[in-house]
A and B are shown apart, each in its own frame.
Chain A
Amino acid sequence: MSDPTPTRRNGLWLWLPLALFFGFFVLVMFGLLRPADRNVASAFVGKPLPAFDLRPAVPERPGLRAADMATGQPRLLNVFASWCIPCAAEAPQLAALAQQGVAIDGVAIRDRQEDVQRFLAQYGNPFARIGADDVSAVQLAIGSSGVPETFVIDGKGVIRHQHIGDIRAEDVPMLLEKLREAGR
C-alpha cells in the first residue's frame, strides 16, 4: 500500500503462503503414510509391581501374588489367555526361554479353568505359577492393554521391561538380555 512498486522483499513475501502450504502438505503426508503405532506402552515400567493376589487358574500350579515375583532373581510375567491366538503362537518361544532356565509366571486373563488346561496341554506349560485374572484387575494395575504381553520383573519385584504382542523367535535374545540387565 505504501510502496506501489514491487520490491525484491515483497516478492519473497508473496511466496510465503505457498511455502507454508507445502510445508503443511508434507507434514500431513508424512503423518498419513507413516504407520501409526497402536500399542499403548505401560507407564508402569520402572515401578514396583502393585500388590495382588490371584487364585490358581489351574489346580496343577499355584496362584500368583505380587510377593511371589520378588524372589531375588529376575523373572518373566506373561499375560496370556487360552482364547488368544498369538498366545499360542508364542508358546514355542516361552518353552525355549523356560528351557534356558528362565522363571516364568503367568496371568490368565478372563479364562475358564478347563480352557487353560486344554491350552497348556496343547501348547505346553512353561509357567511356575498361574494366576487367574477374571476381571483384568492385575492387567489394568500393571498398565497392560492386551494379550499377550510379557513383563521382565527384577529380583526386587520392579517391572523393568514390557514386551507387547507375541514373542517371536527373534525376540528371545532381546528378552534374555533384558533379564540379564534386570539381574545386575
Chain B
Amino acid sequence: MITPLTFPVAPAQAGAYPTVAPVRPRCIDKESLSRPLPAQGRRTLVWLMVAMMGLFAATPATAQDLLPPAPYAYKQLDDPAQEAKALALMETLRCLKCQSQSIADSDAPMAGDMRHQVRERIAAGEQPEAIRQWLVERYGDYVTYTPQVRALTAPLFAAPLVFLLVAALLLRRRFRKTRGGKP
C-alpha cells in the first residue's frame, strides 16, 4: 500500500535548497523572447516560464550524502588478477538501491560501499564465492544474479534432465514399434 509521505521541513533548512535567481516576469519577457508575440500568447508564455522556474526552485535537496566515496569504490586493486576476480564478482551482485543494476554498474553510494567491501575482501585473499555467500546470508538470494540451487529452484535445474529422459523413453517406444511391427 502506498501512502503519501509528509516531511517536516524547518525554515532553517529551506534556505539550503538550491534556488535560481529571483524570478521577475519583466526580464524574462524582454530577454528571452526575440519575436514579439500577441499580447495574450506572450503573457501565457511568460507565466509558463515563471511556473517552470518555480519548479526548479522547489526541487528539494537530493537524499545523498556528502562523504567522499569509500576508498575502493572507484579505485581498482593494484593486482590485475585480483581486480579481474573482484570485477567478475561485482558484475553478478545486485545493487540494493538500484535494483536492476549490478554493483559494478551502479553509482549509488551504497553500491560504492559494496564494491569497497568486495575489493577489500578479495585483496585479503577471500574467495569470490565466499564473499557471495556472505552477502546471501544477509540479503538472501536476491542479492546475487547467479542462479542458486534451492528447494524452490531445484525443479528448474531438474527439468532438462526430466525432458531428456522422457524424450529417450518416447523414442525407444517408437523405434521398437518400427522394428517389431510394421515392415
Q: Which of B5, B8, B65, B138 contacts A83 (CB 8 A)?
A: B65
Q: Are A122 and B10 in contact (CB under 8 A)?
A: yes
How long is the Cα–Cα vector from A145 to B97 in the complex, in angstroms? 7
Are the CB atoms of A89 and B137 closer together than 8 Å? no
Q: Does B117 contact A (CB under 8 A)?
A: yes
Number of interface residues of A (CB under 8 A): 32
Residue B159 at the A interface, CB < 8 A? no
Interface-side segment among B46-54, B107-115, B166-174: B107-115
Q: Flag if B7 contacts A89 (CB, 8 Å).
A: yes
B63 at the interface (CB under 8 A from A): yes
| Cross-chain contact B139 with A145 (CB below 8 angstroms) | yes
When the two chains form their complex, are residues B96 and A134 in contact, meaning their CB atoms are under 8 A apart? no
A40, A85, A88, A141: the one contacting B96 at CB < 8 Å is: A40
Contact B139 A42 (CB under 8 A): yes
Judge whether A140 is part of the interface by a CB distance below 8 angstroms. Answer: yes
Question: Which residues of A are found within 8 Å of B116, using beta-carbon distances?
Answer: 135
B138 & A43 in contact (Cβ 8 Å cutoff): yes
B interface footprint on A155-168 (CB within 8 Å = 1, 0 otherwise) = 00000000000100
Most buried by B among A44, A112, A140: A140
Q: Do residues A83 and B64 form an inter-chain contact, with CB atoms below 8 A?
A: yes
Whole-angstrom distance from the CB of A114 to the nearest CB of chain B?
A: 10
Whether A110 and B65, one on each chain, are in contact in the complex, defined by CB atoms closer than 8 angstroms, is yes
Query: Using Cβ atoms and an 8 Å threshold, which residues of chain B touch A184?
Result: none
Would you give the 0/1 interface string for B132-153, flagging 1 where the beta carbon is closer than 8 Å to chain A?
0001111110110000000000
The distance in angstroms between the C-alpha atoms of A52 and B7, with both chains bound, is 32
Q: Are A81 and B65 in contact (CB under 8 A)?
A: yes
The verdict on A146 contacting B97 (CB below 8 Å), with A83-B66, A88-B7, A110-B109 known, is: yes
> Which residues of B sit under 8 angstroms from A81, Cβ to Cβ?
65
Min CB gap A131→B, angstroms = 15
Known: A38-B99, A88-B8, A115-B66. A145 touches B110 (CB 8 A): yes
Is A62 at the interface (CB under 8 A from chain B)? Answer: no
Interface size counted on chain B using CB atoms at 8 A: 34
* Chain B residues within an 8 Å CB radius of A85: 7, 60, 63
Q: Contact flags (1/0) for A84-114 with B, using CB distance below 8 Å?
A: 1110110000000000000000000111100
Within 8 A of A (CB), among B20-68: 60, 63-67
Name the residue among B114, B137, B138 with the largest chain A CB count within 10 angstroms.
Answer: B138
Closest to B13 in A: A122
Q: Are B63 and A84 in contact (CB under 8 A)?
A: yes
Question: A40 near B5 (CB under 8 angstroms)?
Answer: no
Given contact pairs A111-B65, A112-B66, A122-B13, A40 touches B8 in the complex (Cβ within 8 A)? no
Asked if A140 and B7 make an inter-chain contact with CB atoms under 8 angstroms apart, the answer reads no
Chain B residues positioned under 8 Å from A44 (CB to CB): 137-138
A85-B7, A122-B10, A135-B116 known; 13 other A-B pairs, CB under 8 Å?
A: A35-B2, A42-B139, A43-B138, A83-B64, A85-B63, A88-B8, A110-B67, A122-B12, A135-B70, A136-B109, A137-B113, A139-B110, A143-B138
**18 pairs, A vs B, C-beta closer than 8 Å:** A40-B99, A40-B139, A42-B139, A43-B136, A43-B137, A43-B139, A44-B138, A83-B63, A86-B7, A88-B7, A122-B12, A134-B67, A135-B70, A135-B113, A135-B116, A140-B135, A140-B138, A143-B137
